Amino acid sequence: MTKKIVILPGDGIGPEIIEEAVKLLKALASEGLDLELEYGLIGGAAYDETGTPLPDETVAMSLTADAILLGAVGGYKWESLDISVRPEKGLLGIRSKLNLFANLRPAILYPQLADASSLKAEVVSGLDLMIVRELTGGIYFGQPRGIRILDNGEKEGFNTLVYKESEITRIGKVAFDIAQKRQGRLCSVDKANVLESTELWRETMETVAESYSDVELSHMYVDNAAMQLVRAPKQFDVMVTTNMFGDILSDCASMLTGSIGMLPSASLDEGGKGMYEPIHGSAPDIAGQNVANPLATILSVAMMLRYTLNEPTLADRVEAAVSKVLDQGLRTADIYSDGMTKVGTSEMGAAVIAAL
């Protein structure tokens, strides 16, 4: 059956990296993978054309898609807009409209890039960590929120951190399921010593654990987790955490692997529909120069093949092709080191397809 993939290039380097991923999808389609690609607008590009960062048309086509491939959104041009129409609102909006509550962010260190990490090679080599971040709840969405004027005339900014038991249970199940297929170790990260909402998070994770006797659950406060990630990251197998803690910890984990340009992500709903995107942003500082690393986006296609299209063999092939181009010594500027061959975005994309 034909699978519909919605392509949302977005802003900055988004269109450049998406172009390489689309070439890869077309190469797979030419071998028999039955795909239909449809393009939509999101972020600043959508705002410029329609006055909103998330047009209804984009939501409608995404709702009927099997999977969505997104580049990135945002850029200097839109920074002074009202927050309600900034590009990032488009991203938060689509995650929430599609109920993509589970964000999977692997941090894998390719041995070829061990020297690109800011940590010592022995601390990170062989790192294979999965961070499962809750994506549609918590402080990024909680109400009430805003900036108000106090009686004395001073301004006060406020946000609300809320989690329902049902929200914690469903993200917990996703994380336990993943841990079951890996090394069977799950670390739940919270701040239960200070925040009641994460005290409930901890209690609820314990309840979910009762159905997963083969997974070893541990708990860690987020400040310690940040420290442990840079001290001894290989102690972790799967981590599960709230929206904001996951946002921060997964960026931290990404740097253990050398470059933000290498890491894919998946955001899934309860039925397995997914939005796939690199974890990095729109990198406006390098946009339009053919220097961005397309591998995070290409590896996002591999995740799409694995988690939504149910094509694990093709996913393995894409990942092996990425490993092969690294073996060949090809490097975009962000992962370049002496003795390697520096290539641009399009050369890297073409090399992956050739290696496939």
Tell me which residues touch ligand NAD (CB under 6 A). 13, 72-75, 88, 91, 260-261, 277, 280-286, 292-293, 296, 334
- In 241-278, which positions are buried (b, 16+ CB within 10 angstroms) versus exposed (e)? bbbbbbbebbeebbbbbbbbbbbbbbbbeeeebbbbbb
Supply the DSSP string of 20-68, one letter for each residue.
HHHHHHHHHHHTT--EEEEE---HHHHHHHHSSSS-HHHHHHHHT-SEE
Per the annotation, the verdict on 269 as an active-site residue is no
Rounded least distance, CB 74 to ligand NAD, Å: 2
Q: Of residues 190, 191, 237, 307, which has the active-site annotation?
A: 191
Q: Which is nearer to ligand NAD, 19 or 311 (CB)?
A: 19
Q: Which is nearer to ligand NAD, 190 or 277 (CB)?
A: 277
Q: Which two tokens stand for residue 236?
A: 């972790």
Radius of gyration of the chain (CA): 20
Express the helix, strand and coil content of the chain in percent, nearest 5 each: 45, 20, 35
Q: Rounded CA gap, 41 and 44, in Å?
A: 9
Q: Which is nearer to ligand NAD, 258 or 261 (CB)?
A: 261
Q: Of residues 11, 237, 247, 334, which has the active-site annotation?
A: 247
Give the contacts of 331 (CB within 8 A, at least 6 positions apart).
337, 340, 341, 342, 343
Q: Which is nearer to ligand NAD, 72 or 187 (CB)?
A: 72
Q: Are 142 and 250 spatial neighbours (Cβ–Cβ below 8 Å)?
A: no
Q: Which amino acid is at 172?
A: G
Rounded least distance, CB 333 to ligand NAD, Å: 7
Q: Which is nearer to ligand NAD, 129 or 279 (CB)?
A: 279
Q: Of residues 140, 163, 212, 307, which has the active-site annotation?
A: 140
Rounded least distance, CB 273 to ligand NAD, Å: 18
- Give the residue carrying structure tokens 């069977």: 184
Per the annotation, the verdict on 140 as an active-site residue is yes
Q: Rounded CA gap, 247 and 54, in Å?
A: 21
Per the annotation, the verdict on 155 as an active-site residue is no
DSSP for residue 310: -
Per the annotation, the verdict on 47 as an active-site residue is no
Per the annotation, the verdict on 336 as an active-site residue is no
Q: Rounded CA gap, 255 and 102, in Å?
A: 22
Rounded least distance, CB 49 to ligand NAD, Å: 18
Rounded least distance, CB 109 to ligand NAD, Å: 17
Q: Rounded CA gap, 229 and 206, in Å?
A: 23
Q: Which two tokens stand for residue 142?
A: 């909680």
Q: Of residues 223, 285, 316, 327, which has the active-site annotation?
A: 223
Q: Which is nearer to ligand NAD, 90 or 172 (CB)?
A: 90
Rounded least distance, CB 31 to ligand NAD, Å: 26
Rounded least distance, CB 152 to ligand NAD, Å: 33
Q: Which is nearer to ligand NAD, 74 or 172 (CB)?
A: 74
Phi-psi region of 290 (alpha: psi -120 to 50; beta: other; left: phi over 0): left
Q: Which residues are catalytic?
A: 140, 191, 223, 247, 251
